[in-house]
Amino acid sequence: MFTTVLVANRGEIARRIFRTARSLGLSTVAVYSTADARMPFVDEADAAVELPGNTPGETYLLAELIVEAAVRAGADAVHPGYGFLSENAGFARAVIDAGLTWIGPPVDAISSMGSKIEAKKLMAAAGVPVLAELTPAEVSADDLPVLVKASAGGGGRGMRVVSRLEDLAAEIDAAPAEALSAFGDGTVFCERYLAGGHHVEVQILADQHGTIWAVGERECSIQRRHQKVVEEAPSPLVERIPSMRAELFEAARKAAAAINYVGAGTVEFLADDAGRFYFLEMNTRLQVEHPVTEETTGLDLVELQFAVAAGEQLPANPPPTVGHAIEVRLYAEDPSNDWTPQTGTLHRFEVPPSLRVDSGVVDGSEVTPHYDAMLAKVIASGPDRTSVARQLAGALERSKIHGPGTNRDLLVWILRHPAFLAGETDTGFFDEHGVGEKLDDGVVRVSALAAALGDAAGRVGPVRVPSGWRNLRSQPQRKSFRVGDAVHEVEYQLTREGLVAEGNVQLVESGPARVVLRVDGVRRVFDVASYEGLVCVDSALGSVSLTPVERFTDPALQVAAGSLVAPMPGTVIRVGVQIGDKVTQGQPLLWLEAMKMEHTIAAPVDGVVGELKVEAGQQVEVGAVLAVVGEEA
């Protein structure tokens, strides 16, 4: 048995594996990039080795540096986590060649599943149902919609849904560039796309003695940009169709046996409403969503990975699935603005202790543009699906998450949506139902008032006189806050008779951190937290993040009309126009890559490209002017 494990990963992944390692009495080693030096996973390891640099290509994707770090730190085993090099056969071989225990599947198994094209051929030969591969030249109108897909990909990178034949050539040109950037392999292929399909996967665990477990299934159909947002076990679709579970498990075991699989892995399928399913891919690693399987089986899948790697034998059968579990991925992103990632300081991260939280962040963590936008996985479990969804939604709503914008409100909306509660969770969920509802304007206004009153209370000096108090009535106090694209101006007066403000609102008490108002006769408590350039107000009505608007702006910070500015730090990967080109509003002009996602920057108006300030490969900071579109004249 090994004694010291290096985890070749970061964030919540590393923390999750460290937790099990410590419970088994194993020592732990972290590797970290320069950008991650202050992240909590680094301090939680018994030893840590820096990989100089910030981007994955400089750090976590360099196999030789990680193996060298393991040897230098005295580790005798390496766990790859999930993502980065976890499905890289060359990395697995390097670990084994260095005399270290590889806590993962055999090198040949990783290689055989590394190409989706070759994997589908193997699975078809093993009797696993597959969707036929299509070459771009043979795609016809009858085949539409089709999915253009990276052969070496994962996590939605290098994927394009094509619904019109005239768009196919452009998407086949674009997908390889993204795939090459993400995986170092630009090979793509086409297959038929099930627009209303269900993403259902089976957790596999196999030992070195021939035992193969199918440890329950998960449904992960609610996705954005082909990346999962909500995952649950068991699958609502499989629960509805009596014969489907046995057929899925048999197909998954066939897939594992066909490649002599050992360790934890996941066989992913795309299914229709009738229960017909087709092999998508096999992930030769632990999955992000593995906690819902753990919560419904009582297993620790990481502990079992350690046991299998040490040569131990599994019992003949896995434990049964009991109850239900739902996991949501909390992302630092703006769902209403094309899922744009958000960066900055996470001032406060507080989720009710009733939930399981697998997170890579704590209060004060910095969310950088270098890595995935996921902050945490939040998991609830219980006897039935409806009660679990209700518990998870309520706890998320009460969470205090201050700093970069997140998809928290969207997650609450999903968990309470009638279609979700009815189990209607196919991959077209957002296309059919939208991406949530805007925060009620009345809630924003009263929260802005609470923010202004909390700020005023915080400025009171040694004499306890309310801010703005006068012996004779005069001008109201005014304060402006920006929420999204809207600016809300608060006007109020504190008089002998009490608070005078818009609406039926009375002040009960106020302090810098807590304001109590009576709104339409109902007592409401607002928790107010002020940070540099940000005020966060939490109440039972909802959480509102407000940016104070300064009365006087710095002219040097203003940009010319028609300017396209970078919404986040990132790398320009393509430029689609030249100076002097005529463009129309909404036309894509250039593309940015940040936080493992590709983002389109489009023309704000009809006009002519007057300035182009960037080129492909250039790094840009948030707010940087990328181009200027002006009138033709």
Which of the two residues, 95 and 153, has the higher pLDDT score?
95
502 and 378 assigned to the same domain: no
Domain containing residue 241: CATH number: 3.30.470.20
Residue 310, helix vs strand vs coil: coil
**Does residue 262 surpass a pLDDT of 90?**
yes
Q: What average pLDDT does the segment 578-607 reach?
A: 86
What is the structure's pLDDT at 555? 66
**Does residue 150 surpass a pLDDT of 90?**
no
Which of the two residues, 494 and 608, has the higher pLDDT score?
608
Instruction: Report percent pLDDT > 90 for the chain.
Output: 69
Whether 345 contacts 405, CB under 8 Å: no
Which of the two residues, 632 and 366, has the higher pLDDT score?
366
DSSP 75-94: -SEEE--SSTTTT-HHHHHH
**Does residue 315 surpass a pLDDT of 70?**
yes
133 and 175 assigned to the same domain: yes
Domain containing residue 588: CATH number: 2.40.50.100
**Does residue 459 surpass a pLDDT of 70?**
no
Which candidate, 285, 283, 276, places its Cα nearest to that of 131?
A: 276
Domain boundary among 433, 453, 486: 433
Tokens linked to 373: 């936008």
User: 614 in a domain, yes or no?
Assistant: yes
220 and 324 assigned to the same domain: yes
Domain containing residue 445: CATH number: 3.30.700.30
Q: Convert the pLDDT of each residue in 104-138 to its tens digit.
A: 999 999 999 988 888 999 999 999 999 877 877 78
Q: Please tell me the least confidently modeled range out of 9-18, 457-466, 609-618, 623-632.
A: 457-466
Whether 592 contacts 341, CB under 8 Å: no
Q: How many CB atoms lie within 10 A of CB 176?
A: 17
Domain containing residue 52: CATH number: 3.40.50.20
Q: What average pLDDT does the segment 271-289 reach?
A: 95
What is the structure's pLDDT at 238? 98
Q: What average pLDDT does the segment 549-555 reach?
A: 77
Q: What is the mean pLDDT of the chain?
A: 91
Domain boundary among 192, 207, 233: 192
429 and 286 assigned to the same domain: yes
User: 115 in a domain, yes or no?
Assistant: no
387: Cβ–Cβ under 8 A, 6 or more apart, which residues?
Answer: none
**Does residue 556 surpass a pLDDT of 80?**
no
For the chain, state the CA radius of gyration: 27
419 and 445 assigned to the same domain: no
User: 116 in a domain, yes or no?
Assistant: no
User: 117 in a domain, yes or no?
Assistant: no
225: Cβ–Cβ under 8 A, 6 or more apart, which residues?
Answer: 156, 339, 597
CA–CA gap between residue 160 and residue 190 (Å, rounded): 9
User: 509 in a domain, yes or no?
Assistant: yes
465 and 429 assigned to the same domain: no
Q: Convert the pLDDT of each residue in 461-470 to its tens digit.
A: 444 556 666 6
225 and 284 assigned to the same domain: yes
229 and 283 assigned to the same domain: yes
User: 111 in a domain, yes or no?
Assistant: no
How many domains does the chain contain in total?
5
Q: Please tell me the least confidently modeled range out of 169-183, 458-472, 525-539, 577-591.
A: 458-472
User: 172 in a domain, yes or no?
Assistant: yes
Whether 621 contacts 569, CB under 8 Å: yes
Banded model confidence at residue 148, pLDDT cuts 50, 70, 90: confident
Distances (CA, A) of 442 to 450, 492, 528, 612: 12, 16, 17, 41
Residue type, 89: A
CA–CA gap between residue 17 and residue 23 (Å, rounded): 10
94 and 221 assigned to the same domain: no
Structural domain including 355 reads 198-433
Which candidate, 306, 309, 299, 247, places its Cα nearest to that of 278?
A: 247
Q: Convert the pLDDT of each residue in 604-615 to its tens digit.
A: 888 999 899 999
Banded model confidence at residue 374, pLDDT cuts 50, 70, 90: very high
Q: Convert the pLDDT of each residue in 193-211 to its tens digit.
A: 877 899 999 999 999 999 9
Domain boundary among 408, 433, 458: 433
User: 113 in a domain, yes or no?
Assistant: no
Whether 337 contacts 293, CB under 8 Å: no
Which candidate, 52, 99, 57, 92, places its Cα nearest to that of 74?
A: 99
What is the structure's pLDDT at 182? 60
309 and 424 assigned to the same domain: yes
What is the structure's pLDDT at 569? 77
420 and 448 assigned to the same domain: no
How large is the greatest C-alpha to C-alpha distance in the chain, in angstroms?
88
What is the structure's pLDDT at 226? 85
521 and 592 assigned to the same domain: no
Domain containing residue 161: CATH number: 3.30.1490.20
Whether 231 contacts 220, CB under 8 Å: yes
Banded model confidence at residue 568, pLDDT cuts 50, 70, 90: confident
What is the structure's pLDDT at 596? 67
Whether 194 contacts 226, CB under 8 Å: no
What is the structure's pLDDT at 118? 87
CA–CA gap between residue 88 and residue 292 (Å, rounded): 25
Q: Convert the pLDDT of each residue in 426-457 to its tens digit.
A: 999 999 999 999 889 999 999 999 999 998 77
